[in-house]
């Protein structure tokens, strides 16, 4: 019995075809993601341009530069301009060190100017301790400020130690 040998064919190798398809799909996905990101990025750019244009077109009113500003009568020019003591002199006395007393003096001058003491000076200002430090280290002093025109104005200053520094609070004088 004679049989005709059937030639054996090798199985087809689809590996190259599969790799090609996978690469094509990945490239298409990358292009799609880039397109979507580009679209939304461009939309954000356009919105930013629109907002910038709106900001440039705002009609901002002039900010008043006359100091001090009287909120009751903005057109008033008869408000005296305070004359702060910037010589570096600090009133003597009290329990605070030189640096804390300087900080307190700057704060007192601001409150004094608001209260009508137009030219506070350190030379005639006196300091008296009205309450010794309590359990938390807080103490009170009365600063009798020389207003520079022969008048004096008392201010209560509170010193509160916190985290290695001393906070200063100046009370408005009673009317």
What is the pLDDT confidence band of residue 143, given thresholds at 50, 70 and 90? very high
Same domain for 53 and 109, yes or no, is no
Domain coverage including residue 27: 14-60
d(CA 22, CA 52): 45
Residue 10 confidence (pLDDT) above 70? no
Instruction: Classify residue 3: in a domain, yes or no.
Output: no
Residue 53 shares a structural domain with residue 102: no
Give per-residue pLDDT as tens, 32-45. Answer: 999 999 999 999 99
Whether residue 135 is contained in a domain is answered as: yes
How many domains are there within the chain? Answer: 2
CA distances from residue 4 to 7, 8, 9, 10, 11 in whole angstroms, order as listed: 9, 12, 15, 19, 21
Question: Does residue 137 fall inside a structural domain?
Answer: yes
Whether 117 is in a domain gets the answer: yes
> Which of 72-76, 116-120, 145-149 bottoms out in mean pLDDT, i.e. has the lowest?
72-76
Asked whether residue 40 is assigned to any structural domain, the reply reads yes
Reply yes or no on whether the pLDDT at 163 is more than 80.
Answer: yes
Q: How confident is the model at residue 155, as a pLDDT?
A: 94
Task: Examine the pLDDT at 97 and tell me if it is beyond 60.
Answer: yes
């Amino acid at each position: 019995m004679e049989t005709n040998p059937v030639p054996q064919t090798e199985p087809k190798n689809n590996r190259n075809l599969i790799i090609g398809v996978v690469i094509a799909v990945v490239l298409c996905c990358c292009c799609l993601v880039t397109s979507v990101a580009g679209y939304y990025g461009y939309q954000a750019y356009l919105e930013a341009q629109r907002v910038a244009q709106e900001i440039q077109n705002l009609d901002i009113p002039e900010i008043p530069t006359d100091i001090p500003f009287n909120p009751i009568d903005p057109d008033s020019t008869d408000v005296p301009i305070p004359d702060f003591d910037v010589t570096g002199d600090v009133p003597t006395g009290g329990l605070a060190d030189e640096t804390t007393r300087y900080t307190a003096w700057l704060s007192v001058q601001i409150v004094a100017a608001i209260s009508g003491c137009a030219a506070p000076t350190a030379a005639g200002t006196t300091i008296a301790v009205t309450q010794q430090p309590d359990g938390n280290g807080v103490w009170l002093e009365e600063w009798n400020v020389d207003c520079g025109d022969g008048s004096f104005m008392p201010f209560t200053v509170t010193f509160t130690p916190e985290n290695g520094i001393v906070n200063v609070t100046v009370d408005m004088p009673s009317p």
